[in-house]
């Protein structure tokens, strides 16, 4: 397994004014309002050509040889798994109050990634589990009248998911919609009368309690963003043009911006946008804890699309709170914007750590052809404003390093956040084997996929409600139970905040 810290070129390069905009869609977008004005339709021939190139490249990328498929780690996976059955699943908590700025990228994680510092590993897993919670608590059931909502209210969320160990309390839920070509993953229930026809639960804001705040050296506001239901869906639905943010030359992917900024007064949950919801809550928490004389930080996390929304969130927060320490820890996130977007995040002091897997295709998108690798041709082409660039440092993992994971092209399983957390937990350095004292339960990898070797006898996709959520009533008939009143989504209930 190799960890790669990619050097970031932070020199700001003026964008070429010679780019032809005649065929670009006319869009006005800013962090104050999201308005779309469609002009000329996208060229069908150009779209087909781009998709053809992407498909050809996908066939070429990461084609494993027969030898690599048959190679196995010398370690006995079954014996290792059985030896851990009576051991704790989390590493001991250490006091990081004196080094929290380094843990959160104060020096761009220099000398902390390879080898991976044990305290950094634990913090990365903590935020990764916050991101995973957005999937575990999401109502995926298309037959549920609350499809698209969170299964639990915010006071019960961490308790239901076993995350109280981290010492955070959820203070606010975030809901999102899109005004732009609603993708399949935003479609709702088969049931006609659903809890919301427009919005989806997209994440939450949490804040560290007194004990955790003392351990980590400040009051930490954490924001977790959910990714798409299926990565293959955003891969198909989100390959769009870069569009201006409304500030300078920074541009971001249009679909991501739409989800982050869209709102409509006729909806129940998105009279304000996801952007407005999260920023209002961060502002409220900052005011509350600053008045108590506390030091506060903002840490934003997300997986896949959630990682993209995390960067947009960090960009906006850096504008509104210029002195607030802001860091992003993302997992399997795609590219979001152009070089100007990357540079502005750097100049505003936002620290970003991207955790990626070598075999995962999602971090290669969008811009599988037109990405930061073209920067080497700047002398010939000038800076290309429509080229995608990743942001921040990278911790690159490798599926082949784990003796517990299957080899092959299971792109869905490779992309799942539990696969990421498993590999982070076992990573030591680029020249070390998978650590034998890794703590997380290996069975978690197969929650929603089939990535574990068959010898472990862990069923694939085992994480589901018993009997598909049906229960036997007093007459012995199988029925869908009603949610407890406190777990039924309610905009009024969401407004009743407490600290």
Residue positions annotated with a catalytic role: 304, 360, 415
Q: Which two tokens stand for residue 113?
A: 């990634």
CA dihedral 409, 414, 415, 418 (to 10 degrees): 160
300 contacts 314 by C-beta, under 8 angstroms: yes
31 contacts 400 by C-beta, under 8 angstroms: no
Rama region for 8: left / alpha / beta (φ>0; ψ in -120 to 50; rest): beta
Hunting for tokens 């065929």 — which residue is that? Answer: 23
Cα 138 to Cα 134, 159, 431, 470, distances in angstroms: 6, 15, 38, 17
Cα 37 to Cα 68, 242, 270, 471, distances in angstroms: 50, 15, 21, 49
Residue 341 CA to residue 391 CA, distance in Å, equals 9
Q: Which two tokens stand for residue 230?
A: 């299926």
352 contacts 391 by C-beta, under 8 angstroms: yes
User: Which residue in 306, 355, 297 sits closest to 204, CA to CA?
Assistant: 306
Residue 328 CA to residue 310 CA, distance in Å, equals 7
Q: What are phi and psi of 293, to 5 degrees?
A: 80, 20
375 contacts 9 by C-beta, under 8 angstroms: yes
User: Which residue in 131, 125, 122 sits closest to 95, CA to CA?
Assistant: 122
321 DSSP assignment: -
How many residues appear in the chain? 499
The greatest distance separating any two alpha carbons of the chain, rounded to the nearest whole angstrom, comes to 77
Crossing angle (nearest 10°) for helices 339-347 and 305-320: 50
Residue 242 CA to residue 239 CA, distance in Å, equals 10
| Helix/strand/coil percent split, the chain, to 5 | 35, 15, 50
């Amino acid at each position: 397994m190799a960890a790669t810290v990619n050097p970031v070129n932070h020199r700001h390069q003026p964008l070429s004014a010679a780019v032809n905009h005649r065929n670009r869609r006319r869009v006005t977008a800013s962090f104050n309002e999201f308005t779309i004005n469609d002009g000329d339709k996208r060229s069908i021939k150009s779209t087909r050509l781009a998709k053809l190139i992407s498909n050809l490249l996908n066939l070429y990328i990461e084609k494993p040889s027969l030898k690599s498929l048959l190679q196995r780690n010398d370690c006995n996976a079954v014996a290792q798994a059985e030896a851990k059955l009576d051991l704790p699943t989390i590493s001991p908590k250490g006091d990081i109050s004196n080094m929290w700025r380094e843990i959160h990228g104060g020096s761009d994680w220099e000398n902390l990634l390879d080898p991976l510092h044990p305290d950094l590993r634990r913090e990365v897993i903590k935020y990764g589990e916050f991101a995973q919670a957005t999937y575990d608590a999401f109502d995926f059931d298309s037959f549920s009248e609350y499809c698209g909502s969170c299964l639990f209210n915010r006071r019960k969320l961490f308790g239901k998911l076993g995350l109280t160990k981290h010492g955070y309390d959820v203070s606010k839920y975030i809901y999102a919609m899109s005004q732009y070509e609603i993708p399949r993953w935003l479609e709702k229930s088969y049931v006609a009368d659903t809890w919301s026809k427009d919005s989806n639960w997209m994440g939450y804001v949490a804040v560290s309690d007194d004990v955790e705040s003392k351990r980590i050296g400040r009051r930490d506001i954490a924001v977790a963003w959910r990714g798409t239901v299926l990565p293959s869906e955003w891969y198909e639905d989100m390959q769009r043009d870069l569009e201006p943010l409304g500030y300078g030359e920074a541009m971001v992917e249009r679909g991501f911006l739409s989800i982050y900024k869209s709102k409509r007064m006729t909806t129940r949950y998105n009279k304000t946008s996801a952007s407005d919801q999260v920023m209002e809550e961060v502002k409220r928490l900052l005011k509350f804890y600053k008045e108590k004389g506390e030091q506060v930080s903002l840490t934003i996390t997300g997986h896949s699309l959630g990682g993209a929304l995390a960067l947009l969130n960090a960009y906006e927060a850096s504008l509104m709170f210029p002195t607030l320490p802001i860091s992003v820890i993302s997992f399997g996130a795609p590219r979001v914007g152009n070089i100007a977007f990357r540079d502005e995040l750097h100049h505003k002091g936002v620290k970003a750590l991207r955790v990626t897997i070598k075999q995962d295709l999602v971090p290669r998108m969008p811009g599988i052809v037109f990405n930061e690798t073209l920067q080497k041709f700047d002398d010939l082409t000038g800076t290309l404003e429509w080229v995608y660039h990743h942001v921040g440092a990278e911790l690159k993992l490798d599926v082949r390093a784990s003796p517990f994971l299957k080899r092959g092209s299971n792109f869905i399983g490779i992309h799942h956040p539990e696969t990421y957390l498993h590999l982070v937990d076992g990573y030591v350095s680029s020249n070390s084997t998978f650590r034998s004292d890794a703590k997380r339960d290996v069975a978690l990898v197969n929650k929603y996929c089939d990535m574990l070797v068959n010898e472990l006898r862990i069923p694939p996709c085992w994480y589901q409600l018993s009997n598909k959520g049906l229960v036997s009533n007093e007459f012995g008939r199988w029925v869908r139970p009603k949610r407890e009143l406190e777990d039924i989504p309610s905009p009024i209930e969401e407004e009743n905040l407490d600290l």
